[in-house]
Chain A
Amino acid sequence: MRRLLLILALFAVGCMEWDYGLEEDFDIEASARGLFICNEGNFQYGNATLSYYDPETRKVENEVFYRANAMKLGDVAQSMTIHNGRGWVVVNNSHVIFAIDLDTFKEVGRITGLTSPRYMHFVSDEKAYVTQIWDNRIFIVNPKCYEVTGYIEVPNMTMEQGSTEQMVQLGKYLYVNCWSYQNRILKIDTESDTIVGELEVGIQPTSLALDCTGKLWTVTDGGYDGSPYGYEAPALYRIDPDSFTIEAKFEFQKGDAPSELQLNGAGDTLYWINDDIWAMDVTAERVPVRPFLDSRGTIYYGLTIDPKSGDVYIADAVDYTQQGKIYRYSASAELIDEFYVGIIPGSFCWK
């Protein structure tokens, strides 16, 4: 019996080992340029991460948020924006926005009370907008005290179908694309926090950009086969923000899925993902015939252009369940560097 008890006691030894509580000290040079990569992670698994890449030294640091703070970033890191030397990481299904120090990656504060945040846009030091999915309101927050201070309710939109996405500002007006089961661009007066205009485009505009000539660009994904909301050929739209009308429409093949509209630093070349990577001069009158970069079994999921060098960074989600890979190309499509980051790298933020 004693022997039996001893064996049973041995089975109990060797419990789960955890590596928590250790905070790593980073000290990135304050003046150094860098690229943050938000790795979404798998929905409902809370394994989103943040990576940091130095384009000069070509060194990448993964899981910097966890390593600096000894806690998880959360579930679905959707986007990041920088304002006044602080990074604001929007973690969609954790219902939180973390403010971090850009040099140490340590948390300096957080905004909670959100529904399902997607993107954050600063109007001033004391006012920012946060778009949502599954909510028909754009949240107004005060970043200084990390508080939700108000809402902009979007008309003709229910919570169940709520979707406001990316934001660009021109003067006092902010433009927002409404994506999931939506077809419009909103125009918001940032002084009165009211919607002053709406523009119908195609089905499901995914992203928004403002070029060097002051024109707005959006690209739709066209919905999907069987959707009661409609299914059509996606299109790239050029919009005149003053008259708030569509100036030009460039149609793709039905079934295509264009997304991730980006501009280079000069604002004169548009890039987007449509299986391959595409580039187009903002003054062009037709979409190019050949892509900037072919897909090679890759699953291009995120895209950014170095505003200084014009280098093109492309995120490959690989199989969505392993570390994604970032490819860095020159503006002439020559491979400069490649490195692994976290699961499903989806968005970038330049420091």
Chain B
Amino acid sequence: MFKRVAIIMLCWVVATISVATAQERHYDIDEVAVYGVRPIGDIGVQQTKLDSLVLKETISLSMADVLAFNTPIFVKSYGRATLSTVSFRGTSPSHTQVTWNGMKLNNPMLGMTDFSTIPSYFIDDATLLHGTSSVNETGGGLGGAIKLSTTPANYDGLRLQYVQGIGSFRTFDEFLRIGWGNAHWQTSTRVSLSTSPNDFKYVNRDKKINVYDEQMNIIDQYYPVERNKSGAYRDLHILQEVYYNTGRGDRIGLNAWYVNSNRELAMLTTDYADDTKFDNRQREQTFRGVVSWDHLRDVWSISANGGYVYTSMAYDYVRDPGNGTMTPMTRSRSKINTIYAKAEGKYFIGNRWLFTANLAMHQHFVESRDKNIILQEGNKAIVGYNQARVELSGVVSAKWQPIDRFGISAVLREELFGTQLSPIIPALFIDGVVSRRGNITAKASLSRNYRFPSLNDLYFLPGGNPNLRSESGWTYDAGLSFKVGKEGLYSLSGSATWFDSYIHDWILWLPTTKGFFSPRNVKDVHAYGVELKASTSVQFAREWTLSLDANYSWTPSINCGEKLSDADRSVGKQLPYVPLHTANINGRLAWRGWAFSYKWCYYSERYTMSSNDYTLSGRLPDYFMSNISLEKSLSFSWADLSVKGTINNLFDEEYLSVLSRPMPGINFEIFLSITPKFKRGK
């Protein structure tokens, strides 16, 4: 089926190319900024911005995929369309705070964010705030924070775009965007639907198939070629945006994002169950809505946001006991209602001082029902918890640039979670231009930070531990950056940052002698290292543009707590599942309507034991991953078209991100994009 569709599409492409004019792709090489015009709001901030070219690369990419190939942070993926978490600088996923249009995305029950559920096509602006820099945005980002947001599309008239992707393993990705706009109004509706049985083939090296003789003696064994079992998914996202700009300094926005996800949880490579007898599935429905108002004046601005989140999660693990009826073994339900409000103000004194303040409130109402049981008396009950928690976070900052070449910023944040007040969270930033030649800038920052336990940490039944302490840490970083170039010819920029942080009372969920897991404050961690970034664009011949972005991070993350007992060999060792080295390179070569991209990433070996011992059953060797794509854009009088082919895992590498979770080998996807031109189309 897939081959037939691919052939039809190929014929269509060839026929179309012959009658179309090439649509030029523009990869602008920016003029290098004159020193001293660094935004006063970004004094000393270590950040990585992802441009729209990266975010809108293909509709099938989740934010987890984008972050893995374009940033120095570590993405831990349990498989395709499966839980993917990210962590900065050797910390844990719950130490990464994530916001969407100012509102927290971290699940209040789990404390972390699943980036596999965020389609990159729904994000217009993504900024990573490394370490201390997260204090400007939110508290609790012991590793850092990720700001995701949508922006007005700046349409003039009606605009429509449709993208269809067809890929290996009967994967279908569809994306539709309809928008309309004028000088005051901008509206946009985005819909994306991704479906796949996700049953890729792989050689299972973790198990063998037995061949028996008539006396049931094993006469042969072999590693089976298996399909990824129980890995199907269907993800629907709808995003509605409406913006109104008065043109006199007031902007009002509405963003509403609906998610409907139905995902099977893939079987482990070591599972011998008959997948037709079991069903292991997670369903999610989430609505997020944010209303925002910005009031801008020459020297001051205020803004107010209000929002609401509803999430319903259902996890079912059922099996057929032999009568043809799937019977629940685990039936878990959770509902989260969150009310959000935020007010923010900025005030400039001349162009040397900037004062900011904001106060954000998240009120969570959580209902967790984990198990239905029959009590000793014979009546029924549900194991779970109902909790509400208000989370207040307030911050004030003063930023000062006494001279063009130097800036200093002080931030004070305070948080209240329930009845628990955090100590003052201070952060200090400085930066300065070291040399005008090469725009060499030095940055440094220092902060103290806290992260409150999640609601599951405190209340989950069984195991929740209401006596947990907040995690706390000191972080500092210092770095140099440069940028050189000539507009229209080349640009070259780079940065090197040293970071160092100590995190105390690290929370881990561990088994108990009662047969369930429970969280405890068990570790003190020293995470330090280096982040290197480099970026270049060159127009080396007429209409030829080459751009390269590279990231590398070295992240020792060392358990420096006390030994739990004499037998404990984890002290002084790298934390499990935190790679020491992470690197990626992203190259793009463009010529007229053609664009070729090569994406490469590398993770060094990850330990699976806290003692860093090597075992046969627990090895996660290092791996390289290479993806390529080729795109042809065409422009007709009636529409812009593009056809794109991608090859993922180009070298068909057998690799693992997490133990016993199979990953797909080489796979392909073709995308067809059409953007009709209406009369006033932009």
Q: What residues of chain A have their CB less than 8 Å away from a CB belonging to chain B?
A: 4, 8, 11-12, 14-21, 41, 43-49, 62-63, 66-67, 69-75, 91, 93-96, 107-110, 112-113, 115-116, 134-135, 137, 144-146, 156-162, 179-181, 183, 200, 203-204, 206, 221, 224, 226-230, 257, 259, 273, 296-301, 316-325, 340, 342-344
Q: Find B270's partner among A94, A161, A318 (CB 8 Å cutoff).
A: A94
Minimum CB–CB distance for B667 against chain A, Å: 17
Most chain B CB within a 10 A radius of its CB, from A144, A183, A200, A343:
A343
Complex Cα spacing A295 to B302, Å: 59
Question: What residues on A are CB-neighbors of B570 within 8 Å?
Answer: 318-319, 321-322
Complex Cα spacing A135 to B375, Å: 17
Complex Cα spacing A19 to B614, Å: 12
Q: Mark B160-194, 1 if CB is under 8 A from A, else 0.
A: 00000000000000000000000000000000000
The 7 closest A-B pairs by CB, nearest first: A46-B660, A297-B565, A322-B611, A46-B270, A134-B329, A228-B381, A96-B272
Residue contact A94 to B565, C-beta cutoff 8 Å: no
Q: A108-B217, A221-B514 are in contact. Are A41 and B617 (CB under 8 A)?
A: yes
Enumerate 8 A-B pairs (CB-CB under 8 Å) in ascending A order.
Answer: A8-B600, A15-B653, A63-B615, A71-B208, A72-B269, A108-B218, A112-B274, A319-B522
Residue contact B567 to A298, C-beta cutoff 8 Å: yes
Complex Cα spacing A145 to B608, Å: 37
Q: Mark B301-344, 1 if CB is under 8 A from A, else 0.
A: 00000000000000001010100000111110000000000000
Q: Mark B631-662, 1 if CB is under 8 A from A, else 0.
A: 00000000000000000001101111011100
Which one of B93-101, B119-127, B410-418, B621-629 is at the A interface? B621-629
Complex Cα spacing A35 to B582, Å: 42
Residue contact B331 to A45, C-beta cutoff 8 Å: no
Complex Cα spacing A227 to B618, Å: 35
Measured CB to CB, the nearest residue on chain A to B319 is: A115
Q: A298-B565, A301-B513 are in contact. Are A161 and B659 (CB under 8 A)?
A: no
Question: What residues on B are CB-neighbors of A17 within 8 Å?
Answer: 621
Question: What residues on A are CB-neighbors of B567 within 8 Å?
Answer: 298, 316, 318, 324-325, 340
Q: With an 8 A cutoff between CB atoms, is B462 at the interface?
A: yes
Most chain B CB within a 10 A radius of its CB, from A75, A107, A321:
A321
**Given A16-B653, A66-B617, A221-B515, 6 other A-B residues pairs in contact with their CB atoms under 8 A:** A14-B624, A16-B623, A94-B272, A112-B273, A228-B373, A229-B383
Q: Find A20's partner among B205, B277, B650 (CB 8 Å cutoff).
A: B205
Minimum CB–CB distance for B663 against chain A, Å: 10
Q: A8-B600, A75-B271 are in contact. Are A159 and B327 (CB under 8 A)?
A: yes
Measured CB to CB, the nearest residue on chain A to B583 is: A11
Minimum CB–CB distance for A106 against chain B, Å: 8
Residue contact B205 to A146, C-beta cutoff 8 Å: no
Q: Mark B528-567, 1 if CB is under 8 A from A, else 0.
A: 0000000000000000000000000000000000011111
Which residues between 255 and 287 of chain B lie within 8 Å of chain A, taking CB atoms?
A: 268-274, 277
Residue contact A229 to B327, C-beta cutoff 8 Å: no
Q: With an 8 A cutoff between CB atoms, is B576 at the interface?
A: yes
Complex Cα spacing A113 to B278, Å: 11
Residue contact B514 to A224, C-beta cutoff 8 Å: yes
Q: A18-B205, A73-B617 are in contact. Are A11 and B376 (CB under 8 A)?
A: no
Measured CB to CB, the nearest residue on chain A to B328 is: A160
Most chain B CB within a 10 A radius of its CB, from A110, A228, A319:
A319
Residue contact B608 to A45, C-beta cutoff 8 Å: yes
Complex Cα spacing A156 to B381, Å: 14
Q: With an 8 A cutoff between CB atoms, is B206 at the interface?
A: yes
Minimum CB–CB distance for B61 against chain A, Å: 21
Residue contact A16 to B622, C-beta cutoff 8 Å: yes
Residue contact B212 to A109, C-beta cutoff 8 Å: yes
- B interface, by DSSP: helix, strand, loop or mixed? loop
Q: A71-B208, A94-B268 are in contact. Are A115 and B329 (CB under 8 A)?
A: yes
Question: What residues on B are CB-neighbors of A344 within 8 Å?
Answer: 511
Measured CB to CB, the nearest residue on chain A to B377 is: A230
- A interface, by DSSP: helix, strand, loop or mixed? loop
Residue pairs across A and B with CB atoms within 8 Å: the count is 256
Measured CB to CB, the nearest residue on chain A to B523 is: A319
Measured CB to CB, the nearest residue on chain B to A163 is: B515
Minimum CB–CB distance for B148 against chain A, Å: 29
Q: Mark B580-609, 1 if CB is under 8 A from A, else 0.
A: 000001010000000000101010000011
Minimum CB–CB distance for B386 against chain A, Å: 12
Residue contact A160 to B373, C-beta cutoff 8 Å: yes
Question: What residues on B are CB-neighbors of A206 within 8 Å?
Answer: 515
Q: A75-B271, A320-B510, A320-B511 are in contact. Are A228 and B616 (CB under 8 A)?
A: no
Residue contact A12 to B651, C-beta cutoff 8 Å: yes
Complex Cα spacing A82 to B570, Å: 34
Measured CB to CB, the nearest residue on chain A to B609 is: A322
Complex Cα spacing A158 to B626, Å: 49
Complex Cα spacing A69 to B610, Å: 26
Measured CB to CB, the nearest residue on chain B to A45 is: B659
Question: What residues on A are CB-neighbors of B271 within 8 Å?
Answer: 74-75, 93-95
Question: What residues on A are CB-neighbors of B655 within 8 Å?
Answer: 15-16
Residue contact B576 to A228, C-beta cutoff 8 Å: no
Question: What residues on B are CB-neighbors of A324 within 8 Å?
Answer: 567
Q: Find A45's partner among B598, B623, B658 (CB 8 Å cutoff).
A: B658
Question: What residues on A are CB-neighbors of B619 within 8 Å?
Answer: 19
Minimum CB–CB distance for B326 against chain A, Å: 10
Complex Cα spacing A35 to B609, Å: 24
Complex Cα spacing A159 to B621, Å: 39
Q: Find A16's partner among B272, B617, B650, B654 (CB 8 Å cutoff).
A: B654
Residue contact B609 to A161, C-beta cutoff 8 Å: no
Q: A95-B273, A110-B210, A159-B329 are in contact. Are A323 and B376 (CB under 8 A)?
A: no
Complex Cα spacing A95 to B223, Å: 18
Q: Mark B430-464, 1 if CB is under 8 A from A, else 0.
A: 00000000000000000000000000000001111
Complex Cα spacing A60 to B439, Å: 62
Question: What residues on A are CB-neighbors of B626 within 8 Å?
Answer: 11-12
Most chain B CB within a 10 A radius of its CB, from A18, A46, A221:
A46
Q: With an 8 A cutoff between CB atoms, is B49 at the interface?
A: no
Question: What residues on A are CB-neighbors of B274 within 8 Å?
Answer: 112-113
Residue contact A19 to B616, C-beta cutoff 8 Å: yes
Q: With an 8 A cutoff between CB atoms, is B34 at the interface?
A: no
Residue contact A48 to B617, C-beta cutoff 8 Å: yes
Residue contact A110 to B272, C-beta cutoff 8 Å: yes
Residue contact B373 to A273, C-beta cutoff 8 Å: no
Complex Cα spacing A316 to B602, Å: 36
Minimum CB–CB distance for B344 against chain A, Å: 40
Q: With an 8 A cutoff between CB atoms, is B5 at the interface?
A: no
Residue contact B565 to A15, C-beta cutoff 8 Å: no
Residue contact B216 to A228, C-beta cutoff 8 Å: no
Question: What residues on A are CB-neighbors of B272 within 8 Å?
Answer: 74, 94-96, 110, 112
Question: What residues on B are CB-neighbors of A158 within 8 Å?
Answer: 372, 374
Q: With an 8 A cutoff between CB atoms, is B352 at the interface?
A: no
Complex Cα spacing A18 to B623, Å: 11
Complex Cα spacing A204 to B512, Å: 15
Complex Cα spacing A130 to B132, Å: 54
Most chain B CB within a 10 A radius of its CB, from A72, A158, A320:
A72
Measured CB to CB, the nearest residue on chain B to A23 is: B221
Minimum CB–CB distance for A25 against chain B, Å: 15
Q: A67-B616, A221-B514, A319-B570 are in contact. Are A183 and B376 (CB under 8 A)?
A: yes
Q: With an 8 A cutoff between CB atoms, is B613 at the interface?
A: yes
Measured CB to CB, the nearest residue on chain B to A67 is: B616
Measured CB to CB, the nearest residue on chain A to B616 is: A66
Complex Cα spacing A110 to B212, Å: 11
Minimum CB–CB distance for B519 against chain A, Å: 12
Minimum CB–CB distance for B282 against chain A, Å: 14
Q: With an 8 A cutoff between CB atoms, is B295 at the interface?
A: no
Question: What residues on A are CB-neighbors of B385 within 8 Å?
Answer: 226
Residue contact A323 to B611, C-beta cutoff 8 Å: yes
Residue contact A145 to B270, C-beta cutoff 8 Å: no
Q: A95-B271, A146-B216, A226-B461 are in contact. Are A296 and B565 (CB under 8 A)?
A: yes
Question: What residues on A are CB-neighbors of B268 within 8 Å?
Answer: 44, 46, 75, 93-94
